[in-house]
Amino acid sequence: MDLDRIGLLKAITRRMDWLGERHRVIAENITHADTPNYRARDLKQVSFGELVRGSQLGITARVTQPGHLRGLGGSNNQWQRTTTGAYETAPNGNTVNLEQQMMNMAETQADHNLMTNLYRKQVGLLRKALGNRQG
């Protein structure tokens, strides 16, 4: 069974990939905390809802009556690095704020834990639906 064909699981996987990349960017910022003229970076925020909608690109709803609900269009967001707005700039031109980077790291870790738990629950539901009650 290919779990990537299930839209929600694919969206969770993409979100976890994004969180892993954000973790790497934050670690890079922390590494360069004393590098002159280094600009702190972050990834462009991508909402989980957009990832879920983007994972259903093959399914489109068509409005045949004015009273019907419109379908959600797909999204093709790329993970873009952006230079963060500098909270403060050191005399050497560095914009890395270690406190902010630690808060970003904690937020990323909490989001990753949430996605891990959501993935685990979805796989558990699939197992129950398939009759495998172990796990």
Residue among 4, 2, 22, 10 at smallest CA distance from 118? 10
For residue 25, tell me if it sits in a domain.
yes
Q: What is the pLDDT of residues 112-128, one digit of tens each?
A: 999 999 999 998 988 88
Q: What is the pLDDT of residues 20-49, one digit of tens each?
A: 999 999 999 999 999 999 999 998 887 767
For residue 135, tell me if it sits in a domain.
no
Least trusted range by pLDDT, from 12-16, 55-59, 93-97, 118-122? 55-59
Residue among 80, 88, 93 at smallest CA distance from 38? 93
For residue 14, tell me if it sits in a domain.
yes
Torsion of CA 92, 96, 98, 102, to 10 degrees: -170
For residue 100, tell me if it sits in a domain.
yes
Return the structure tokens found at 35: 């590098």
For residue 124, tell me if it sits in a domain.
yes
Question: What is the per-residue pLDDT for 71?
Answer: 46
Domain count, the chain: 1
Does 77 have pLDDT greater than 50? Answer: no
CA neighbours closer than 13 Å in the CB half-sphere of residue 103: 5
Structural domain boundaries, residue 23 = 3-130
For residue 29, tell me if it sits in a domain.
yes
